Amino acid sequence: MNELKTEPFVWPVRVYFEDTDAGGVVYHSQYLNFFERARTEMLRAMGISQTELKEKHGYIWVVLDINVKFRQAARLDDELLVTAQLQWVKGVRQGFRQEITRKSDDVLVATAELSAVMLHADSLKPARVPGWIKERLLNE
């Protein structure tokens, strides 16, 4: 297997009113959305469209498990930087590490470790990551 990419992908996110609770603090479930957006944009930056992946190739990616640690509160109007980085590939599973930092002070807001799996879209049975995708995920 080739080496993993050493630099994480970074996606900027602004906290909107809809992301917060009554106190102006980001509601805990919104962090999952921020992490998901960063992973999706990382794939898009690699030329992997999830719509095309399903419609043309018959695959979908799903999260198997996720462990989120909340470190600091993010608030309304904060600019956040969300990273996404592939950590490992084992059979049909892939592991990712993600971080959210506040841009203004570089404070770590939350971290996530997760595993994902590619499935055949029609049967929802696990599938090995196709070679062309694996090449894009890994350094050449």
Give the domain CATH number at 125.
Answer: 3.10.129.10
Position 31 in a domain: yes
Q: How many domains does the chain have?
A: 1
DSSP secondary structure, the chain, as one string: -PPBPSSPEEEEEEPPGGGB-TTSBBPHHHHHHHHHHHHHHHHHHTT--HHHHHHHH-EEEEEEEEEEEE-S--BTT-EEEEEEEEEEEETTEEEEEEEEEETTT--EEEEEEEEEEEEETTT--EEPPPHHHHHHHB--
| Domain assignment of residue 73, given as a range | 9-129
Predicted local distance difference test score (pLDDT) of residue 136 = 86
Residue 57, pLDDT > 90, answer: yes
Position 4 in a domain: no
Strand partners, 99: 111
Q: Output 3 or 18, whichever has higher pLDDT.
A: 18
Q: Which residues make Cβ contacts (< 8 Å) with residue 136, sequence separation at least 6? A: 46, 47, 48
Predicted local distance difference test score (pLDDT) of residue 40 = 96
> In this prediction, what percent of the chain has a pLDDT beyond 90?
84
Do residues 115 and 95 lie in contact, with contact meaning Cβ atoms separated by under 8 Å?
A: yes
Position 45 in a domain: yes
Position 113 in a domain: yes
Distance, CA of 54 to CA of 99 (rounded, Å): 27
Kindly list the catalytic residues. 21
Position 3 in a domain: no
Predicted local distance difference test score (pLDDT) of residue 137 = 83
Chain mean pLDDT for the chain: 93
pLDDT in tens, 62-105: 999 999 999 999 999 999 999 999 999 988 899 999 999 999 99
Position 1 in a domain: no
Distance, CA of 97 to CA of 69 (rounded, Å): 12
Position 76 in a domain: yes
Backbone angles phi, psi at 37, to 5 degrees: -60, -45
Position 134 in a domain: no
Predicted local distance difference test score (pLDDT) of residue 1 = 46
Residue range 44-50: average pLDDT? 93
